[in-house]
Structure 1
């Protein structure tokens, strides 16, 4: 192939983004083709709708497949260019004055024919440079795919951390209202304790917000580091064969270090401070045997997932799945103050609180979550979460380990949950106005593993 024909051939196999021969070429909806790395970087910010960098046509397909024909033609073009180019001085063996046309993968060195037969190399496998270079490009492309996936995962974690920070700040404001409301129902002599409690909350929340901010900064740096490494690998794949092979060992070591770096999300958790005399006050309204026991196979909340807007873990939680133990009150409360305790010690996943209506159908029950005041505990893998419904909100406090107290203050329109062993408030639904009967409710479920 003469130089003009080779030049024309290569121009037809050139990516219009990087102006190099295609690297893992993909073809999008409009028919234009690009290097996969170039297109990934072009679309990295989740551009919607995704458009062609050349004609601006919209691309609907999210998962692009390698254009096998173009990839084979690009390999032939690179090989033809390598055969056409003159050998440089660095490719000549100083000992035998022959071209170093072989690559020893074991030693990561270029060899001439006689050198490859020497004792220190004879037992190793040797490949022609162009073939070894293409195999190295394939290894790089696999590493690049892994790096890009890791970067996308990190972006999801970053989004969750930003959402978690917003949810935590929102929760702290609500937590202050909960504490003030709780002390309003205590003796005035506890005003100093309330002040100390709020000051401790403010200090602890400030420290946690700083940790969240620093963690987001570290993750952002790691994400950008992965992006820069991806760019360097892309540039390396476009290098001449000999330069690519000689740098291969260092590049692979660099990517190995990148894979070892794993960001760890911050799990904010506020201290549950004990409230003086809380248990004595609650016991004045204690009621026993408020639940009627039964077993139901499926539990669901009507119309929506429990966590819609404030889920820091990026999960849309539906309360359904396997068999659950369910119990609810045979009698509903329409006035007064009522307190009861429930032991959830053996269980990781549970729901408790009060609800208006419980509709049963064979082995399924339905609860309208907008007419319920519920506290949820959920274990996903090894992480516990506490959250409430209506409005959906994560509770950034320590998970209770023993009995949980439920206090229904019907006359003041409030429902509160207490950690009995710590003598502390878990959370409260702040005062509203109840206009319907409320029944105690409990659901115990097996752990969720995803």
Structure 2
């Protein structure tokens, strides 16, 4: 178990929320630092001013810049852990008894220098393991940023759709009251036609209401899928570099594919056309 300066150093680079190494670290007004994703999730449903997860000091800040120094220190610590893992006797190159310091991007495996120069791997793309790990982490952070934006966009569309559902229900009630008032005023003897007209109006109105509710349900489902994927990416960002180098490609492809499918809200013109039809009492 680590002790002394080494343990203290790690503690300073640990996020209080997830208790893992800081990922894309940001520092808030009180001076405490957290993973950007951890702040996103912990502050998402909070009203301003939000509070620091550590000291509970209020903070009005919403947009953050990555703490370059902390990010570099975390990178150094993670790279040290990766090299310690690879330089251990059980993970050294079996053939040449050397540390595996090269990453083969074709086969997704670690190689020593001599193996990377061999006929089997000579034509493959290679890079130092530290650089490969940093590259994967940057890909992961960009994917998380893109996915978070999709989550926020979907949330805005969902709220807009819910407002439209409420508005639509109120409009249907108002339309029925308007029709009844017009019949009472102008055509008091046509009660049967009044009920037929209201029934027709409700049928058409409920058709559009069902479409709105279907759209809302799709957005709710999409929200869950996006958030589940974001949690997966968060978990991957907290893994050691040795895991990130080998296991990220699958989740990266799934995340990219998920973001291509976007539920669309119903177009406002549909509501206008619908109510133009509903507003015609007589043809």
- How far 1:69 sits from its partner (Å)? 1.2
Alpha-carbon deviations, 1:28-84, whole Å to 9, x = none?
011111111111111121433211000111111111111111111111222223334
Which of 1 and 2 has higher RCO (CA within 8 Å, sep 6+)?
2
The separation in 2 between residues aligned to 1:216 and 1:399, in whole angstroms, is 19
Is 1:384–2:269 an aligned residue pair?
yes
Q: State the match for 1:270 in structure 2.
A: none
Matched-pair contact (CA < 8 Å) for 1:129–1:242: no
The separation in 1 between residues aligned to 2:247 and 2:238, in whole angstroms, is 13
Task: List alignment gaps of at least 5 residues for structure 1.
Answer: 268-382, 386-395, 401-418, 428-450
Q: State the match for 2:192 in structure 1.
A: 192
Q: State the match for 1:77 in structure 2.
A: 77
Q: State the match for 2:219 in structure 1.
A: 219
- How far 1:238 sits from its partner (Å)? 1.7
Alpha-carbon deviations, 1:158-184, whole Å to 9, x = none?
111111111010000011122223434
SS at match of 1:384: helix
- How far 1:108 sits from its partner (Å)? 3.2
SS at match of 1:103: strand
1:102-181 equivalences in 2 (<5 Å): 102-119=102-119, 121-181=121-181
Matched-pair contact (CA < 8 Å) for 1:183–1:194: yes
- How far 1:218 sits from its partner (Å)? 2.4
The separation in 2 between residues aligned to 1:101 and 1:86, in whole angstroms, is 8
SS at match of 2:59: coil
| TM-score normalised over the length of structure 2 | 0.86
Task: List alignment gaps of at least 5 residues for structure 2.
Answer: none
- How far 1:192 sits from its partner (Å)? 3.3
Is 1:20–2:4 an aligned residue pair?
no
Q: Which has the higher strand share?
A: 1
Q: Rg: which structure is higher?
A: 1
1:21-40 equivalences in 2 (<5 Å): 21-40=21-40
Is 1:63–2:60 an aligned residue pair?
no
Matched-pair contact (CA < 8 Å) for 1:6–1:77: no
Q: State the match for 1:250 in structure 2.
A: 250
Q: State the match for 1:425 in structure 2.
A: 279
The separation in 2 between residues aligned to 1:111 and 1:185, in whole angstroms, is 89
SS at match of 1:398: helix
Matched-pair contact (CA < 8 Å) for 2:48–2:60: no
The separation in 2 between residues aligned to 1:174 and 1:118, in whole angstroms, is 79
SS at match of 1:121: coil
The separation in 2 between residues aligned to 1:24 and 1:75, in whole angstroms, is 10
Q: Which has the higher helix share?
A: 2
SS at match of 1:232: helix
Q: Per the alignment, do residues 97 and 5 of structure 1 end up closer, same or farther by CA in structure 2, a change over 3 Å counting?
A: same
Q: Per the alignment, do residues 97 and 244 of structure 1 end up closer, same or farther by CA in structure 2, a change over 3 Å counting?
A: same
Once structures 1 and 2 are overlaid, which stretch shifts more, 182-191 or 200-209?
Answer: 182-191
SS at match of 2:265: coil
Q: How many residues align?
A: 280
- How far 1:199 sits from its partner (Å)? 0.9
Q: Per the alignment, do residues 197 and 120 of structure 1 end up closer, same or farther by CA in structure 2, a change over 3 Å counting?
A: farther
Q: Per the alignment, do residues 80 and 96 of structure 1 end up closer, same or farther by CA in structure 2, a change over 3 Å counting?
A: closer
Alpha-carbon deviations, 1:411-445, whole Å to 9, x = none?
xxxxxxxx7xx8x7369xxxxxxxxxxxxxxxxxx
Once structures 1 and 2 are overlaid, which stretch shifts more, 179-188 or 102-111?
Answer: 179-188
- How far 1:151 sits from its partner (Å)? 0.4
Q: State the match for 1:398 in structure 2.
A: 273
- How far 1:26 sits from its partner (Å)? 0.6
Q: State the match for 1:51 in structure 2.
A: 51
The separation in 2 between residues aligned to 1:56 and 1:24, in whole angstroms, is 21
| TM-score normalised over the length of structure 1 | 0.56
Q: Per the alignment, do residues 147 and 426 of structure 1 end up closer, same or farther by CA in structure 2, a change over 3 Å counting?
A: farther
The separation in 1 between residues aligned to 2:91 and 2:228, in whole angstroms, is 30
CA RMSD of aligned residues (A): 2.8
1:248-397 equivalences in 2 (<5 Å): 248-267=248-267, 384=269, 396-397=271-272
SS at match of 1:252: helix
SS at match of 1:206: helix
